[in-house]
Structure 1
Amino acid sequence: MDAWVNYLIVLAIGASPILEVRGAVIFGLGMGLNPWMTLALGIIGNIAALPVAFWVLQHAHFREFMFGLFRKTAEKHMHKNKNFELYEELALFAFVAIPLPITGCYLGVLISEILGWNWKRSFLAISAGTVVSGLLMLLGAEGVIKLVNFAT
């Protein structure tokens, strides 16, 4: 398979809701692609999907649906946590930046939409978290590869 096809697959994996940039990096490294190009394409794919995710949730009236399900809990906590508004972008960034399962940008969009946060500020926080998550994944995977090669 040509390398450019693999790079297109990396881009598609980066945009996918399950694997996101973390899966794209692992796939690219496994295929022997340039690590930095793999990281860049995985991030581009992941961030390019964010506006679509925001648009879908906003037009599906998802927040109203979730708020209706958890009305009492939401009303109780939305009024008590005014100080949290100062840190919501930082919290969202940290949540997305930690490269663990389900802590990616799609769940970040979902959290942002449920809590009714400003989508532009959330987009920036999620994008920055995606870059950090991808970088941590690349450095960790490269370290493991070098360790395995050293041991053999």
Structure 2
Amino acid sequence: MDSFLREVLNFLTIELAVLLAAALPIIELRGAIPIGISLGLSPVNAAVISFVGSMLPVPALLFGIRPMFTLLRRKKPFSNVVQRLVSRSLAKSGKIQKYGALGLVLFVAVPLPGTGIWTGALIAAFLDMRFKWAFPAILAGNAIAAVAVMGLSTGVISVIGG
């Protein structure tokens, strides 16, 4: 695996690799910042590049996910997968429904798995949240998460007191 990673990095710059990793679901900013730091980027550079990369898919998700899911629901092999994704996303939407854009900021800001921009954007789209409220909320929440993950990755923020 290590040699494969080196080959990929020879093709891509470290910065581009971190940017692309941050744009992926599951990895997002929460995984890309530690990856960037471990590859030799400064914590601030890793955080900024990860932040930019993780925000790249947001407009496409906010505008395109509902039409795409509507289309995929018509295809038998995808209908169950789409329904599970929708159900999981909406199961996490209680605070967002209650608090609106502020709830979305807080949801995306929590640096835990399953609370990033992908899930936040899915929830916002399924709740019919307008782009002018959803995008800035996701942006703000992602910025908070970037600072938190950078602090956790560098030891500035300690999970366990001491």
Q: TM-score range by the shorter chain?
A: 0.7 to 0.9
Residue 143 (1) aligns with residue 151 (2) = no
Aligned to 2:104: 92
Query: Which residue of structure 1 aligns with residue 49 of structure 2?
Result: 41
Q: Which amino acid aligns with 2:63?
A: W
Separation in 2, partners of 1:110, 1:95: 12
CA RMSD of aligned residues (A): 2.6
Q: Which has the larger radius of gyration?
A: 1
1:6 pairs, out of 4, 7, 14, with 14
Equivalent in the alignment of 1:56: 64
Aligned pair count? 127
For 1:32 and 1:45, the matched residues in 2 are separated by 18
Q: Contact conserved, 2:109 with 2:144, CA < 8 A, in 1? A: yes
Is 2:120 the partner of 1:120?
no
TM-aligned CA deviation for residue 32 of structure 1:
1.8
Q: Distance in 1 between matches of 2:126 and 2:149?
A: 28
Following the alignment from structure 1 to structure 2, what is the Cα–Cα distance between the partners of residues 26 and 97? 17
> TM-score under structure 2 normalisation?
0.70
| TM superposition shift of 1:96 | 0.4
Tell me which stretches of 4 or more aligned residues in structure 1 moved more than 4 Å. none
Aligned equivalent of 1:30: 38
Contact 2:117 2:142 in 1 (8 A): yes
> Following the alignment from structure 2 to structure 1, what is the Cα–Cα distance between the partners of residues 21 and 143?
15
TM-score, normalising length from structure 1? 0.74
Counterpart residue type for residue 29 of structure 2: V
Provide the rounded CA distance (Å) in 2 between the counterparts of 1:97 and 1:30: 23
Unaligned runs of 5+ in 2: 1-8, 74-82, 88-96
What is the identity percentage for the equivalent residue pairs of Structure 1 and Structure 2?
31
Aligned residue type for 1:131: A
Specify the code of the residue in structure 2 equivalent to 1:55: F
**Cα distance in 2, alignment partners of residues 97 and 91 from structure 1:** 10
Deviates more, 1:47-56 or 1:103-112: 47-56
Cα deviation, 1:117-152, whole Å, max 9, x if unaligned, reads 1122111101110111011000011017x9xxxxxx
Q: Which runs of 5+ in 1 are unaligned?
A: 71-82, 147-152
Q: How far has the Cα of 1:58 moved from its partner?
A: 3.5
